[in-house]
Amino acid sequence: MLVHTAFGRAEQVARHWSAAGCPIVIHADKNVPKKTYTGFVKALSDLPNVRFSRRHRCEWGTWGLVAATQSASAVMLSDFKDVRHVYLASGSCLPLRPVQELVDYLAERPHTDFIESATTADVPWTIGGLDQERFMLRFPFSWRKNRFLFDKYVALQRKLGYRRRIPNGIVPHMGSQWWCLTRQTLSAILEDPDRSVYDQYFRKVWIPDESYFQTLSRLYSRQIESRSLTLSKFDYQGKPHIFYDDHLQLLRRSDCFVARKIWPFADKLYDAFLTDAAGAMKRTEPNPGKIDRIFAKAVERRVRGRPGLYMQSRFPVEGRENGLTCAQYSMFEGFSDLFENFGPWLARVTGTRVHGHLFAPERAEFSDGQRVMNGALSDNATLRDYNPHAFLASLIWNTRGERQCFQFGPRDTVKEIEWNIAKDPNAQISVISGAWAVPLFKSNLNFSEIRQEAARLQQIESKHLDVLRSPWAKARIRIWTMAEFIEAPMEPLQTIIDEIGKQSQHGLAEVPKMADLTGFGQFLQNLKNQGMHPYLMGDFPVEHRLHEPERGQRKPYLVR
């Protein structure tokens, strides 16, 4: 048992092993103050089957841990002749099942070594990229204390193309440092005539406690079960996950023999598992699947986070968002200008939440005229424009599970938000270009004002279309000119609705009502005559009198 802190708990666990008849050799880190150490030795002095081994300085990732294990193993093998299996544990390990069950389990498998041992090429466990290199380079500097020299020395060796020779052609293996080896295998490793050669080599290997026994046991073991009997989970930085009181049920159901690492103040866990009978579990194979999932999820959350969420501890730089928003949404440009009842129609057909112009200059036009939306999001325009991206991301986040659709157009505050939407793969953008002219056409303004406004809107939309057509735009974007669109409006509508994917299978039973466009061609011609050329809506013939062109009939203006 390797101990360096929480001696009270270590003592408790040692007594537990000892009471079950298991002899123990304890190694305490040399960094532990003398007073603490002697107190600890004294506290355990009443146990007949406890020994203490020579102390080494143990720093994470260094040879000290292996040296400590070697010394302790030697004491174990020489002092306790009956021992068949040696289990390497730490002071913060906790036996989850009655020790007798472990004893029986091992007795049934007298020649099996339980040691996780895999070649570096086959597993992606390593943190920090030093997988092959940990066996090929030298690591004389501490990673914790001398990170700078550590990194520089690695870089230097890489530059020089330095490669260490691996002695006797052994194949480096890695795995959990918590193993259970048979006397045969362990003694063979310790008594190997070439041990000094191996020791010399592993002394300068990076994190030797995860490779020394894992590699050498391959030379001697009759039968290796490449897994650890200790349940020990590591997070993305390579440090072990810690178990607390609230993991009690999980640990119970894991059926593992030993778990690590336990928080020293987790009283409930120690009480539950060290009072044998009460914590007894059924005799089954270890099954830590559920715990695996929880810890894998935690790592996933730390590394990738929840897509589309911006919050106090997740604020990704541009390009690392893993989703600018959390769900798909649709933006419609020009549709509500061209169709009189587009919003209600869309809501009926798709069953989604359909807003008006969310970025209108007066206020965010939430669906049903609401002043506040999910998440207590206010419709106040100033508040919205203060951080429009946060507004949109919040809206989509707050309404998870319900698709959002909204209208957009050149009358809205376009500039601050258009890039955010265009770059967002979650956005479905459908544009009828030039449709902003319809409300002007219907309006009762003076023509000079109309002309001015038309020029302004055309300019905004033209720039906006440039954004949508830029190579950085990642949204699903469809753009029709107005002339193109009214020629066969149902087809594009069907495509859009299909993509939203919520409507019934029979096609569109109901059609939105298109605005009456009689005289629209003339209106555009008038604008032209005033020197303002509206081009975004495509070609409209002046004489065209039918506001809704009949389908299947070729239009005269398409004939060149």
Partner 1 sequence: MSIAQSYIMRLRRKRHQARAFRKQFSLREVVNRTAKIRGGDILLFSTMRDECVRLPYFLNYYRDLGVSHFLIVDNDSSDGGREYLADQPDVSVWTTKASYKGAKFGVDWLNWLQRKYGHGHWTLVVDPDEFFVYPFCDTRPIRALTDWLDTSQVRSFGAMLLDMYPKGRIDAVPYAAGQDPIEVASWFDPGNYMIEKNRKYGNLWIQGGPRSRVFFPDRPKKAPALNKTPLVRWHRKYTYISSTHMLLPRGLNLTYDEWGGEKASGILLHAKFLNTFAAKAEEELARGQHYSGSVEYKAYAENIRDNSDLWCKWSEKYINWRQLEILGLMSKGNWA
Measure the CA–CA gap between 266 and 317, rounded to whole angstroms: 38
Q: What is the DSSP string of 310-376?
A: -BTTB-PPTT--SSSSSS-EEEEESHHHHBTTHHHHHHHHH-SEEEEETT-SSB---GGG-SEETTT
Evaluate whether 101 touches 242 at the Cβ level (below 8 Å): no
166 binds partner 1 (CB under 8 A): no
- 3-class state of residue 402 by DSSP: coil
**Nearer of residues 394 and 458 to partner 1, judged by Cβ:** 394
142 binds partner 1 (CB under 8 A): no
Q: DSSP class of residue 448?
A: H
Using CB under 8 A, which of 121, 277, 278, 317 touches partner 1?
317
Find all residues with CB under 8 Å of 554, minimum gap 6, and list them: none
Which segment (381-389, 419-427, 506-514, 519-527) binds partner 1 by CB under 8 A? 381-389
363 binds partner 1 (CB under 8 A): no
Please, which residues bridge with residue 393 across strands? none
397 binds partner 1 (CB under 8 A): yes
Evaluate whether 224 touches 179 at the Cβ level (below 8 Å): no
Measure the CA–CA gap between 41 and 355, rounded to whole angstroms: 73
Using CB under 8 A, which of 304, 415, 456, 551 touches partner 1?
304
372 binds partner 1 (CB under 8 A): yes
Q: Which amino acid is at 117?
A: S
The CA-atom distances, in angstroms, between 399 and each of 385, 405, 443, 457, 538 are 20, 11, 35, 31, 37
Cβ at position 269, least distance to partner 1 in Å: 12
Using CB under 8 A, which of 383, 455, 479, 515 touches partner 1?
383
For the CA atoms of 236, 238, 243, 246, the dihedral, rounded to the nearest 10 degrees, stands at -10
Contacts (CB under 8 A) with partner 1, residues 436-465: none
Which segment (87-95, 394-402, 439-447, 453-461) binds partner 1 by CB under 8 A? 394-402
366 binds partner 1 (CB under 8 A): no
315 binds partner 1 (CB under 8 A): yes
Measure the CA–CA gap between 484 and 89, rounded to whole angstroms: 75
Evaluate whether 2 touches 93 at the Cβ level (below 8 Å): no
184 binds partner 1 (CB under 8 A): no
**Nearer of residues 264 and 541 to partner 1, judged by Cβ:** 264
Which segment (18-26, 123-131, 303-311, 512-520) binds partner 1 by CB under 8 A? 303-311
Query: What is the sign, positive or negative, of the torsion defined by CA atoms of 429, 430, 436, 442?
Result: negative
**Nearer of residues 235 and 276 to partner 1, judged by Cβ:** 235
60 binds partner 1 (CB under 8 A): no
Contacts (CB under 8 A) with partner 1, residues 226-285: 235-237, 239, 241-242, 244-246, 263, 265
Task: Using CB under 8 A, count the residues that bind partner 1.
Answer: 51
Tokens of 137: 């380079």
Cβ at position 391, least distance to partner 1 in Å: 8
Question: In which order are the strands placed within the sheet that holds 112-114?
Answer: 85-87, 180-182, 112-114, 223-225
**Nearer of residues 180 and 266 to partner 1, judged by Cβ:** 266
Cβ at position 325, least distance to partner 1 in Å: 13
Which segment (310-318, 341-349, 489-497, 552-560) binds partner 1 by CB under 8 A? 310-318
Measure the CA–CA gap between 373 and 390, rounded to whole angstroms: 14
190 to 229: interface string for partner 1, x by CB under 8 A:
----------------------------------------
Binding residues (CB under 8 A) for partner 1: these are 235-237, 239, 241-242, 244-246, 263, 265, 294-295, 297-299, 301-306, 309-317, 320-322, 372-378, 380, 382-383, 386-387, 390-391, 394, 397-398
